[in-house]
């Protein structure tokens, strides 16, 4: 998932853009670059492959002059990881520069058209067609920069977010269609505005934001084209898909996130900080507007078919919740991986309810699933952490996780927040809302102890033992089977150790063949699954497996035990926390960056 940051205002752009890039590093990237309009009215461009700090050390990004600029961190899709493929990309006449997230699906056709008109291309990217197409419309057809940009945007197929800068008019344009882009309204005395793919990029400068919708095109312009004039910025929003250029009014909203939420503070890594924050974030997730929860509850109760749709960790939260809905409320909910949801299209009716769960609200598979459901007339409820995200914009109702920014690529605090909120809905559907709320509040003390330094120290002993193993297996039953799936995902995401999860009853149906002397097996235990899961533990023990037990009481067959007090229906929230810590410590011991695991991005915004 690429990162975008743009600035226009009275201050020097380069320091602001560089800091924005640093704040976007958690999204994952392989190259980065900045372009500004200098004091002579010319473009200054610096870009390269590698990490932002390494590029800065080599090129000194702060040398870039000017008060207007755009910057980007790229995650390669079209074209390899090369300096030429890094963003920004500039038009043939060096007057238009572009940064871009997403994919231009018809870029080959557009590129062929431009080549036939005499344009040349310096990169292998789909992005480079955008500035050259704008140049084509301006020079060949005599259109203005804005009209040429509109024509270009209308010709692009696929999901994208783009930021375009015109050197001559000193104008920045941002537009979105299925990929995240938000406008930051800065200090009016400094005439400053920001565009970014994520709010933390400019959170140190302003909390006032305008959430852009699909089809929105925001224009940021200096009132004077003189390079040395004091800029007095303004902005205007249009619908680039419309036939007219009638301005659109979008409200300015203030985000509750603070800079402290987006900073590591005393912790070595964001992942560890966000694990510790679960003491608060589980409570915040449960602190919902009761009327809204009751409204969603009625939508569930009255629907003819309910689907929970999500990807990755969010899917595991949904799978866990499906057990809880069945157990507490005797209610069946279909749980579907978002990328497979189209296979269920024939079951979708106007009376169907789809609950889409996503941390970012920008996951392309989830958005595609919701769009499919809306085409069938389904009612959409979203559970999401980012207010104003694409998912919230296409949902009928939204429940926010209230977790604050999650910077580490791995989902930790938002996973347990999703579990907390889904659990509250299950209790509400069972007519036991107050009981559910009370139980969630009671978790505070358990989670505090699980994230404390003493627990982390104990688990560090375990991580030292496991770090040299190539395989780790995880077992659970009932809702703790979903916890096992999430545990295995956490371990392999960040430590790169192969981890695989099974329902306890499936062990003897094949997986037990992989058990040999010393094979680590993590087993989740609760009071209601103790008898059956412990029979699985004995099967493993008899074959020489090394058993790590997580549950309320130590068992003789355990080689290592992590105590997690019994929380009954809320066990999945608490029992995953020790594995989050274990995954983190394995990564550190093995020399991996837990905040930026290889090949992964915070959210998957391209197919």
253: left (phi over 0), alpha (psi -120 to 50) or beta: beta
Contact by Cβ (8 Å): 237, 248: yes
- 574 classed as catalytic: no
Q: Which two tokens stand for residue 534?
A: 């412990």
Q: Which of 521, 496, 458 is nearest to 590 (CA)?
A: 496
Residues linked to residue 32 through DSSP beta bridges, in sequence order? 48, 73
- Please confirm whether the linkage preceding 229 is cis (ω < 30° from 0): no
Contact by Cβ (8 Å): 211, 199: no
For the chain, what's the residue count? 607
Sheet holding 3-8, edge to edge: 43-49, 31-37, 68-74, 3-8, 193-196, 182-185, 208-211, 253-254
- 378 classed as catalytic: no
Q: For Cα atoms 575, 580, 583, give the angle at the middle one, nearest 5 degrees.
A: 130
- Give the H/E segment covering residue 512: none
Q: Which of 175, 168, 72, 169 is nearest to 130 (CA)?
A: 175
HSE at residue 81, side-chain half, CA atoms within 13 A, is 12
Output the CA–CA distances (angstroms, integers) from residue 279 to 273, 449, 455, in the order listed. 11, 9, 14
In 224-348, alpha helices (H): 270-276, 278-286, 290-302, 312-329
CA-to-CA distance for 361 and 346, rounded, in angstroms?
Answer: 25
Contact by Cβ (8 Å): 122, 149: no
CA-to-CA distance for 377 and 371, rounded, in angstroms?
Answer: 10
CA-to-CA distance for 172 and 230, rounded, in angstroms?
Answer: 16
Contact by Cβ (8 Å): 264, 25: no
CA-to-CA distance for 558 and 548, rounded, in angstroms?
Answer: 6
Residues linked to residue 255 through DSSP beta bridges, in sequence order? none
Catalytic residue among 46, 176, 273, 602: 602
Placement of tokens 């010393």 in the chain: 518
CA-to-CA distance for 312 and 248, rounded, in angstroms?
Answer: 36
CA-to-CA distance for 421 and 414, rounded, in angstroms?
Answer: 10
CA-to-CA distance for 606 and 114, rounded, in angstroms?
Answer: 25
Q: Which two tokens stand for residue 346?
A: 């024939």
Q: Which of 231, 223, 208 is nearest to 68 (CA)?
A: 231
| Enzyme catalytic residues | 2, 602
């Amino acid at each position: 998932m690429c990162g975008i940051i743009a600035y226009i205002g009275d201050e020097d752009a380069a320091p602001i853009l560089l800091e924005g890039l640093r704040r976007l590093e958690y999204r994952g990237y392989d190259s980065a670059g900045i372009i500004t309009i200098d004091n002579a009215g010319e473009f200054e461009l610096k870009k390269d492959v590698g990490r932002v700090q390494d590029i800065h050390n080599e090129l000194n990004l702060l040398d870039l002059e000017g008060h207007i600029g755009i910057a980007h961190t790229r995650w390669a899709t079209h074209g390899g990881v090369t300096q030429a493929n890094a963003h920004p990309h500039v038009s043939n006449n060096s007057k238009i520069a572009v940064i871009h997230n997403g994919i231009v699906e018809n870029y080959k056709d557009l590129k062929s058209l431009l080549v036939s008109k005499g344009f040349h291309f310096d990169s292998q990217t789909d992005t480079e067609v955008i500035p050259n197409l704008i140049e084509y419309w301006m020079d060949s057809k005599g259109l203005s920069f804005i009209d040429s940009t509109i024509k270009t945007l209308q010709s692009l197929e696929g999901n994208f977010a783009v930021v375009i800068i015109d050197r001559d008019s000193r104008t920045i344009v941002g537009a979105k269609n299925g990929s995240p882009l938000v406008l930051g309204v800065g200090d009016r005395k400094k005439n400053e505005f920001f565009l970014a793919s994520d709010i933390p990029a400019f959170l140190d400068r302003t909390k006032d934001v305008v959430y852009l919708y699909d089809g929105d095109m925001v224009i940021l312009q200096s009132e004077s084209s003189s390079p040395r004039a004091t800029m007095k910025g303004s902005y205007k929003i249009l619908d680039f898909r419309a036939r007219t250029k009638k301005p659109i009014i979008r409200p300015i909203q203030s985000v509750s996130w603070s800079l402290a939420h987006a900073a590591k503070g005393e912790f070595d890594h964001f992942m560890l900080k966000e694990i510790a924050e679960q003491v608060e974030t589980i409570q915040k997730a449960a602190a919902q507007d009761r009327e809204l929860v009751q409204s969603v509850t009625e939508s569930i109760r009255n629907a003819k078919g309910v689907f929970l749709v999500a990807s990755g960790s969010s899917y595991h939260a949904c799978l866990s919740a499906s057990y809880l809905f069945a157990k507490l409320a005797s209610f069946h909910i279909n749980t579907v991986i978002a990328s497979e949801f189209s296979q269920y299209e024939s079951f979708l009716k106007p009376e169907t309810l789809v609950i889409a769960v996503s941390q970012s609200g920008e996951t392309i598979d989830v958005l595609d699933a919701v769009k499919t459901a809306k085409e069938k007339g389904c009612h959409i409820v979203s559970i999401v952490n980012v207010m104003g995200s694409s998912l919230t914009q296409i949902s009928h109702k939204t429940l926010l996780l209230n977790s604050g920014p999650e910077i580490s690529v791995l989902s930790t605090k938002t996973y347990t927040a999703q579990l907390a909120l889904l659990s509250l809905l299950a209790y509400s559907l069972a007519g036991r809302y107050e009981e559910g709320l009370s139980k969630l509040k009671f978790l505070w003390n358990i989670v505090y102890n699980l994230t404390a330094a003493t627990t982390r120290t104990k688990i560090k002993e375990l991580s030292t033992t496991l770090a040299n193993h190539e395989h780790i297996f995880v077992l659970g039953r009932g809702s703790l089977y979903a916890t096992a799936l999430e545990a295995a995902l956490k371990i392999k995401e960040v430590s790169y150790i192969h981890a695989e999860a099974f329902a306890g009853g499936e062990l003897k149906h094949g997986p037990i063949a992989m058990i040999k002397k010393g094979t680590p097996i993590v087993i989740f235990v609760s009071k209601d699954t103790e008898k059956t899961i412990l029979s699985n533990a004995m099967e493993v023990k008899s074959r020489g497996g090394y058993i790590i037990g997580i549950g309320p009481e130590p068992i003789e067959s355990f080689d290592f035990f992590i105590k997690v007090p019994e929380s009954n229906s809320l066990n999945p929230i608490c029992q995953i926390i020790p594995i989050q810590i274990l995954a983190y410590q394995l990564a550190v011991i093995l020399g991996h960056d837990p905040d930026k695991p290889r090949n992964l991005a915070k959210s998957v915004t391209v197919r």
